[in-house]
A and B are shown apart, each in its own frame.
Chain A
Amino acid sequence: MTVESMACIETRGLRKAFGATVALDGVNLRVEEGRILGIIGPNGAGKTTMLNAILGLTPYEGELKVLGRDPWNERDQLMRDVCFIADVAVLPRWIRVAQVLDYVAGVHPRFDRAKAEGFLAKTTIRHVSKVRELSKGMVTQLHLALVMAIDARLLVLDEPTLGLDILYRKQFYDSLLTEYFDRSRTIVLTTHQVEEVEHVLTDLIFINRGRIVLECSMEEIESRYVEVKVRPEQVAEARALKPMHERQMLGRSILLFDRVLDQKLDREQLARFGDVRTPAIADLFVAVMGNQSSATQGAGR
């Protein structure tokens, strides 16, 4: 029996179809422990389906192991080590704060009630309140307090801050990073507010139409992609170097280069055309997705 470093999540040829619609089309992925992975993709790309498969909420084809377990057949055991917050408020509206604390403490072997009470003490949430009486931001705070008090190895967040105002959103990721995350835990999250999680993530995948179109670590992004704000007189010269994407901002052309496509490009060389920087994830996403759709259109017609 060989002891290899166990991946937190490992999939091979993960596939899921709803009738004729293919939600996941052969996903191969390996997430090591201690990473914070962001899954970014347009609506309907298969993000939630992928998370549901990881959480044992939906059957699938192909291979999938989460913490060494098969989620579909061992969901209840797996949930001792995995926590998740789904994209909508799912705490039952009729439950009282004190009841939900009692219940989770009653059924979860790794729940630390004192810790949850500590998080709640920093909020305005009262124990006698029912969830239906709390604002959306407070419900998220309550759910986060429950989840952070569970000593889990994998935390899955599906659009956790959807519908929250900017203060709650910032607070959410701050608490997650400062009070919860340590190198032994793994976090997988999806979001549309890419710019908010940019500095939180260690790894990133772009997913489109059920396939992974880009998978890399944040360090790789820094070394691989370069964005140049090209001076108008040099645009033609810069374009000759075949950028992967070009956009206009305030009358200036911004060219995005993928250094994997052309190893000779380096930052100094590109700096001749203008200011050089690492692209924001949102811009990179637009570029990669734009190339994707034009590539598939070209192939299809």
Chain B
Amino acid sequence: MSTQSNAISEPFQSQSITPAGIPATRVFYWAVRRELWEYRSIYVAPLAVAAVFLFAFSLSSIAGIWEKALRLNPARPQGPYDMAAGLMMITGIVVSVFYCLDALHGERRDRSILFWKSLPVSDLTTVLSKASIPLVVLPLLTVAISVAMQWLMLLVSSAVLLVSGMSVTMLWTNLSFVQMSLLLLYHVLTAHALWPAPVYCWLLLVSGWSRRAAFLWAALPVVAIAGVEQIAFHTWHFAALVGDRLIGAAAPTVVSTSPGMFPTDPMTHIAPGSFLSSPGLWIGLAIAAIFLAAAVRLRRYQGPI
């Protein structure tokens, strides 16, 4: 090809042809908004789960089921609040998995990829905007909704206590909301965004590659490797590894204290230093980057299916 002979003249041409382009950050912003338009479940699902939980919590508060937790357990007054946050994290994981499996598949299935590719948005921008949903948008949304829920729960509990003529002092003094929120933010960003990044990026890659049954193609290699490992060595290390990554349970984000302690427990000693210096994190991120690069390259070749 005559790329070299044109190399000199091209910068001049493109300068005269192209007006001041749109900043990459603005294009990225619109690419993310487009994802939120297409996949409304990203925010509808967590909000729906939160609404159902709040409704149930209000009912049970009025019925006095939480009374014990509210008043009689000063050692662990945050029980229901932890439950709310935990529920949001699980919802976030479920939504992320379903989103990733469809993100690069849906646009090929409905042929709209031809429209998206007719606009000056690069494959890199598109793939990164899709990856940002499980890695940035959903974690932040999870924290925001959890914190909002916890405040609403506190208001409901206070109202119930006041109406029944009891003091709310203990409830308000025993809960340190700011600390809980900050710990939650730390936990979600580390254990539910950075740690599972390779899993989400793998799902994105498969959704950009498979023609149908993306879930099957995503799960098949994991099942196959786990099966071979079980037959050969009678161990389940690989399956446990993938599971840990997805759930974020084994992420080395805290100095382990007592098993089963909730990550936003005030007694938790967070360990950002050891998390950021753990090889597991960086190996995972490197693998995630490889999967993303492959997805970008793949999208160039992909048309409607």
Contact = CB atoms under 8 A, between A and B. Distances in A.
Interface of A: 1, 6, 52, 55-59, 63, 65, 67-70, 72, 75-81, 83-86, 88-96, 99, 102-104, 106-110, 143, 153
Interface in B110-142: 110-115, 117-123, 125
Nearest to A2: B9
Given A1-B9, A92-B107, A95-B37, A108 B119 contact: yes
A85 B14 CA distance: 24
A280 B118 CA distance: 33
B273 interface: no
Interface residues of B, number: 43
Contacts of A75: 117, 122, 300
A76 B121 contact: yes
B299 to A, nearest CB: 11
Contacts, number: 116
Contact of B22 (A67, A92, A107): A107
14 contacts: A1-B9, A58-B303, A65-B2, A65-B6, A69-B10, A76-B120, A76-B122, A90-B112, A92-B115, A93-B112, A102-B33, A106-B26, A107-B31, A107-B119
Interface of B: 1-3, 6, 8-10, 13-14, 17-22, 26-27, 29-31, 33-34, 37-38, 107, 110-115, 117-123, 125, 300-301, 303-304
B120 A79 contact: yes
A92 to B, nearest CB: 4
A68 B13 CA distance: 8
A81 B303 contact: no
Contacts of B122: 75-76
Contacts of B8: 1
Contacts of A58: 301, 303
Looking at chain B's contact residues, the main secondary structure is helix
B29 A94 contact: no
A89 B111 CA distance: 8
B14 A77 contact: yes
Contact of B118 (A67, A79, A153): A79
A143 B13 CA distance: 29
B129 to A, nearest CB: 11
Contacts of A63: 1-2
A78 B37 CA distance: 26
A1 B6 CA distance: 10
Contact of B30 (A52, A86, A106, A143): A106
Contact of A110 (B3, B10, B19, B111): B19
Contacts of A93: 110, 112
Contacts of A102: 30, 33
Nearest to A62: B1
A91 B115 contact: yes
Contacts of B34: 99, 103
Nearest 6 CB-CB pairs, A to B? A106-B30, A92-B112, A76-B122, A90-B114, A79-B120, A90-B115
A84 B118 CA distance: 6
Contacts of B110: 92-93
A109 B26 CA distance: 11
Given A63-B1, A103-B30, A103-B33, A109 B121 contact: no
Contacts of B119: 79, 104, 107-108
Contacts of B9: 1, 68
B159 to A, nearest CB: 39
Given A91-B112, A99-B37, A83 B18 contact: no
B2 A67 contact: no
A67 B111 contact: no
B121 A107 contact: yes
